[in-house]
A = this chain, B = another copy of it.
Amino acid sequence: MDSSFSRLNICTVCFLFVLATIGEGGRLLVIPQDGSHWLSMRAVVEKLSERGHEIVVVAPEVNLLFKESKYYTKMTYSVPYTPDDFAERFRLFSDQPFDEVPFLSMVVGAFKTMMYLLEMLFVNCESLLRNREIMRSLEESTFDALFTDPALPCGVILAEHLSIPSVYFFRGFPCGLENAITKCPDPVSYAPRCYSRYTDHMTFIQRLVNLFISFLETPLFKILYTRYQEIASELLKREVHLPTLYRNGSVWLLRYDFVLEYPRPVMPNMVFIGGINCEEGKRLSQEFEAIVNASGEHGIVVFSLGSMVSEIPMKKAMEIAAALGTIPQTVLWRYTGEVPSNLANNTRLVKWLPQNDLLAHPKARAFITHAGSHGIYEGICNAVPMVLMPLFGDQMDNAVRMESRGAGVTLNVLEMTSKDLSDALKAVIYDKTYKENIKRLSELHLDRPIHPLDLAVHWVEFVMKHKGAPHLRPAAHDLNWVQYHSIDVIAFLLAVVLIVLYISLECCLFCFRKCGWKKGRLNKKSKSKSQ
C-alpha cells in the first residue's frame, strides 16, 4: 500500500500543479439570476476568486441575494421598480401554490403569477442592456469569459455583444429546452417532460401525453423569449435567432446527477455538477445543538419549504402543526408566518435554520421539503429520507424522482390532510426501506472522482484559458432540421426507389403488351386461318 500511496501522491501533486497553473488570474464577467439560482453559482464564483481571478458580478440594484462581497466587484444598474413592487411580485408568486381553487384556475393562476414575475425579470434585462454607462464600461473592459445562469438570456445576449466565450450554469430550462438548443437527442419515449410528473417508465397513455407536452416546448420558448429576441436584435443591430445565440455557450454546467435524474442521452459539452451545493456538515451553533441533543433517541425532523415561502394559510399551517405533533421526533420548522395555535411541544418554529448542518447530524431522521433541487441534493448527500411537498417549477418532477427511487413520499400540499402528513412522516422514519434507499443513493452520489465544485471551477477556467471549448461543439449545429434528420437523404432514396419501381412496372407492362399484342395478333392470325 505504501507504493500505491506514493504514486497517488505524485498524481495528486500533478493535479495540484495543473490546478495551480490554471489559476493564474483572469477576468470573469458574471450575469447571474436572483434567488436560489444564485446560491450554488456564488460558491463557484467565490472559489474562482480565491484562485486569483478578478470577478465582476452585474446585478439589478433591487434584488434578493446579491450582497457586497470580498470575492467580487458588484456592479449594479438601476431598475424602474421599487423594493416593495419587487417583494410584492415574489410574494404573489410564492403564495399562489396555496390558493384553494379548481385545477384549471390554479394552472391559469400559476401561469399568470409566473409571467408577472418574469415580466419584472425582463425589465431587469432591458434596464441593463439599455444602461449606456454600464454597457460602455463593460465594452471597454476585457473579460476572458462570461459566466451566466441562462434561465433567462440576458447573459447570453451580452456574451454575443461583447464577443466573449461563455459558460452556462444552471438547473435546466422549463421542458428541457437545453436539449433542443444543444441538439441533444431527447427521446420522448423514456425522457419524461417537465411538469409531467412521469418517471422514465411510462405507460402508453403517459408516453402519448409526454409527446403532447413535447409539442408545447417550442411555443413555450417563444412565449418566454420573444421579447428578449427583440431586445437582442436591437442591441446587436441585426436579426437575432435566440437559440442560435444560446448555442454559443461553450460549456453547460448542469446541476444534474443521475441518482436524481433519469439517465438519458447527453452531449459532450454538458458537465454534470449536481450536488455542488452539498458541503460537509459544520458544527451546529449552541442554540441548535441544544435542541438536537434534547431530542433524545427519537432524533429530529428538519422542515423547510424554502426561502421563497415565508407564510402559508393558517388553516394549512394548523393541519401541518397537528400532524407534526403526532410523531415523537423534535421538529425544526423554518417558518416566519403566524404561529399556529395548535403547535405541539415537539415542534420548534425558527426564522432560519442551518439546513445542511442539521441534515448532516446523525440524529436527523426525516426532511420535509418543498423539493427544490438544492434541498433535495442536501437530503441525498446526508442520506435523510424525505417527505416532499412540491410547490412550483421543477419541484413536482424532483419529488416524483425521489419517490420513484423509494427515498421519499410525495404529498400534494393543497389536498393533503393532517393524517396524510403524519402517515408519510411515520413511513419515512420507521419503514427501513426509505432509509436504505436514500443511503444507497447517497453512497452512489458521493462516490465521485472529483467534487462538483472543483469540476465547475475547472471548466470555467478551461473556457477562460482556451477562449471557449470549440472541440466540444457538435457539427449538428451546422445542419438544418431537414439535414439533421436525414430527411433529404431518405426522400432521395424513396424517390429513387419509386422511379425504379415505376420504370420496372412500365417495362413489365411494355413486355406484357408486346407479348399480349403478339399473342393477340397470333390469335387473330390463327383465327383468320381457321376461318
Which residues on A are within 8 Å of B, measured CB to CB? 1, 3-5, 7-8, 11-12, 14-16, 18-20, 22-23, 47, 50-52, 184-185, 187-190, 200-201, 204, 207-208, 211, 258-259, 262-269, 272, 441, 443-444, 446-451, 453-455, 458-459, 462, 465-466, 469, 471-476, 478-479, 483-486, 488-490, 492-493
Contact = CB atoms under 8 A, between A and B. Distances in A.
Nearest to A49: B4
B15 A451 contact: yes
Contacts of A465: 447
A189 B474 CA distance: 11
A263 B268 contact: yes
Nearest to A53: B4
A472 B263 contact: yes
Contact of A52 (B1, B451, B472): B1
Contacts of A493: 208, 211
A453 B458 CA distance: 18
A465 B184 CA distance: 31
A479 B23 CA distance: 46
Counting every copy of the chain, the complex holds 2
22 contacts: A4-B23, A4-B52, A7-B47, A8-B16, A12-B15, A18-B446, A185-B185, A190-B474, A190-B484, A201-B478, A204-B488, A204-B492, A263-B267, A263-B269, A264-B474, A266-B266, A444-B466, A444-B469, A449-B454, A449-B458, A449-B459, A450-B450
Contact of A450 (B1, B15, B52, B469): B15
A115 to B, nearest CB: 30
A475 B262 contact: yes
A313 to B, nearest CB: 38
Given A189-B476, A263-B267, A263-B268, 5 more contacts: A4-B50, A187-B486, A204-B492, A258-B268, A263-B269
A272 B268 CA distance: 10
A204 B489 contact: yes
Contacts of A490: 211
B188 A474 contact: no
A476 B187 contact: yes
A451 to B, nearest CB: 6
Contacts of A188: 486
Nearest to A208: B489
B23 A471 contact: no
B485 A462 contact: no
A475 B200 contact: yes
Nearest to A259: B471
Nearest to A7: B50
A192 to B, nearest CB: 10
Contacts of A449: 450, 454-455, 458-459
B486 A263 contact: no
A448 to B, nearest CB: 8
A483 B265 contact: no
A479 B210 CA distance: 15
Contacts of A453: 11
B16 A492 contact: no
A190 B475 contact: yes
B265 A185 contact: yes
Given A473-B263, A474-B264, A451 B201 contact: no
A486 B211 contact: yes
Nearest to A449: B458
A483 B184 contact: no
Contacts of A479: 189-190
B207 A489 contact: yes
